[in-house]
Amino acid sequence: MNTLFVFKVLLVLLLGFIIFNLGLALFALVKGEKRRPMSQYLGLRVLFSVILVLMLLLALGSGLISPNPRPY
């Protein structure tokens, strides 16, 4: 498998997990669940967002991905 493909799949999975945890936090807020507090779901979302940004910066620094030279 191509390294770039694996990296992109990992990014999509992390984004999906971030959205999933945001949805779990919403249900915990609406239903008032006492099993796990909403802050745990939001904390996981923030943790995986930081991991995602660090992965993007690492890939950009190593040359795996390149920024758009003309963004407009």
Cα-based torsion angle of the residue sequence 11, 26, 47, 58 in order, rounded to the nearest 10 degrees: 20
38-62 vs 3-31: helix crossing angle, rounded to 10? 160
**Domain boundaries in the chain?**
8-62
Instruction: Dump pLDDT digits (tens) for 23-32.
Output: 888 888 888 8
Instruction: Dump pLDDT digits (tens) for 49-69.
Output: 999 999 999 999 998 888 888
pLDDT at 71 over 80: no
Asked whether the beta carbons of 17 and 54 are under 8 A apart, the reply is: no
Q: What is the pTM of this model?
A: 0.80
